[in-house]
Amino acid sequence: MTFEQKESLPYFFSTLLALGVIVIVWKHRRSPGGKAFIWMMLGLAAWAGPAGLEITSNSLSANLIWSIVSYPGVLSVPVFFFLFVLQFTGQEYLLTRRNLALLWIIPGITLLMALTNNWHHLLWSSLVPDPLVGENLIHYGHGPWFYVMLVYLYALVLAGSVLLLKAAFSFQKAFRLQTLAILVSIPLPWLGNLLYILNISPLPGLDTAPIFFTMTGLVLSLAIFRFQLLELVPVAREMVIEGLLDGIMVMDARERIVDINPAAKKLLNLSAGAWLGQPISSLVPQIQQLIDHPQLKLETFSETATPTWVEMHLDPLRSPTGRLLGRLLTLRNITDRKQMELDLQEKTRELERLAVSDSLTGLFNRRYIESALQLEFERCERYHLSLAIAMFDIDLFKGINDRFGHPCGDEVIRRVSRELRACLRSADIAARVGGDEFLALFPLTSLEDGWMAIERLRSLLEHSVIDCTGEGITISGGVTSWFAGDKPNAALQRVDRLLYQAKKQNRNLVLKDAGQSDPFQVNPEELA
């Protein structure tokens, strides 16, 4: 194998390696920085390939042609590296059309000077064949524009490296490995180029930058497979502040977790673990509901060591061109607010209960039961259902107050109320409608069954003993039932007349009347 063939092999190997990396990362081209990375590797191939062919050439003119052919790669690699860094670190908003045009001005001028160097020699001041190898190896003298180009390209590499270094200290561990891998790999070819410029290259007269790209490709390949370069992209790290009280989770376009702050871990009760790269649905099952309804603020109860209410909201993260980069999930602890809402609801229910309840007995009051009676009559009229209505009061209650005092009278009323509840079903409605007067409704109940319920109450009270009186209690009342065409006021008048009739018949009695006739023509004045 000749000298030229041996020296050209590393360049051709670098070309193949760069093309191989492009094939590997092609499926990730839509990831932030993916396209710029592919163009950067394509620039490497466009640089290393012609450089290898330049070595194999055996004439000055052919060497110059291949050198010029390699310049698009030489000039584009630093630019695409800088573009990749901006996209990778989430600063794609800087890539306006104006800024992109400015980035390419010096590379464009340099390429034009390479094509016209014979007229001005501003890029290459001289081309001298190597005294030992001959025209297979050309020593280039550098003109003033070469150093302008060199400073600019190195400035791009330096700026990109500084941005990556800064990102390495702000990204979480997984991203630091990605960033450090790039920091190690990208400067390698420029180290080779610097050795060439300073004329201290291990291969005198040869630009070893493409050879160093062999190592660059190897390191980047490791980053792609080991650290998931271009897979887990820090799309919004600058938005995530470790000290936020609100929880924040960042996910990529495939709904995989790329960042999570301590507040989110606490709200979701997450222990230490490798959550990065995991599907968000494994931690937040409601995520699809939030994706389908972007304006939704979802409230969920987290049964952690300290039960917590969490409000979740999802926002898309998009590039300036509108491409979806990922999503930002915000978690907020709303336990205090939720508890206030629950307390308010409880107080509202209590006020509503007090508005329809009797404070002494806890039974419904007159206003409520009159409204319920109207509704029950309308339902009976509509569906032809049965309904029993009962009214009673405590016999000789005024005497109890006079003999034992009003506190004892209150105790008697409460005792009657408790026993009344015990005799009713859950569907029945009872109310205290006067001092010692009670009204009860029995939906879907016949007259006979309604009468039996009140009769059972009467018998129970008759055989009970009140502590403050040492005596039992008797009641008198009446029971009627609904019939087609009946009216609430007419039914109340019937049971009221039955009550008076029971008192007229020596009390401790419950009378009943179906209501179709009115046999009790009792004059209230007779019972005064």
Domain parsing of the chain, residue ranges: 3-226, 237-338, 357-527
Sequence-distant (6+) residues with CB within 8 A of 387 are 376, 377, 380, 441, 442, 443, 444, 445, 481, 482
For 237-338, the fitting CATH number among 3.30.1020.10, 3.30.565.10, 3.30.450.20, 3.90.1150.10 is 3.30.450.20
pLDDT tens series, the chain, 528 aa: 455 556 677 778 778 877 887 887 777 777 767 788 888 888 888 887 887 777 777 777 777 788 888 889 888 988 988 888 887 776 776 778 888 899 999 999 999 998 998 898 888 887 777 655 555 566 677 889 988 998 998 898 888 878 777 766 655 555 556 666 666 766 676 676 667 666 666 555 556 666 676 666 667 656 654 555 555 444 444 444 556 668 888 888 878 887 778 788 887 777 666 576 778 887 788 888 888 877 777 777 766 667 788 888 888 888 767 778 788 888 888 888 888 888 888 887 777 777 788 889 999 999 999 999 999 999 999 999 999 999 999 999 999 999 999 999 999 999 999 999 999 999 999 999 989 999 999 999 999 999 999 999 999 999 988 888 888 899 999 999 999 999 999 999 999 999 999 999 989 999 998 766 444 334 444 433
Tokens for 78?
Answer: 């630093």
The two domains 237-338 and 357-527 share their CATH topology (first three levels equal): no
Picking from 239, 278, 228, the residue whose alpha carbon sits closest to that of residue 258 is 278
pLDDT, position 104: 93
Which helix (H) or strand (E) covers residue 471, if one does?
Answer: none
* 502 in Cβ contact with 476 (< 8 Å): yes
The SS3 assignment for 159 reads: helix
C-alpha to C-alpha distance for 332 and 457, rounded to whole angstroms: 56
**CA distances to 39, 132, 205, 243, 335 from 308, in Å:** 49, 81, 70, 20, 6
The CATH code of the domain at 357-527 is 3.30.70.270
The SS3 assignment for 59 reads: coil
The SS3 assignment for 203 reads: coil
* CATH H-level superfamily of 3-226: Rhodopsin 7-helix transmembrane proteins (1.20.1070.10)
What is the pTM assigned to this prediction?
Answer: 0.48
C-alpha to C-alpha distance for 157 and 298, rounded to whole angstroms: 46
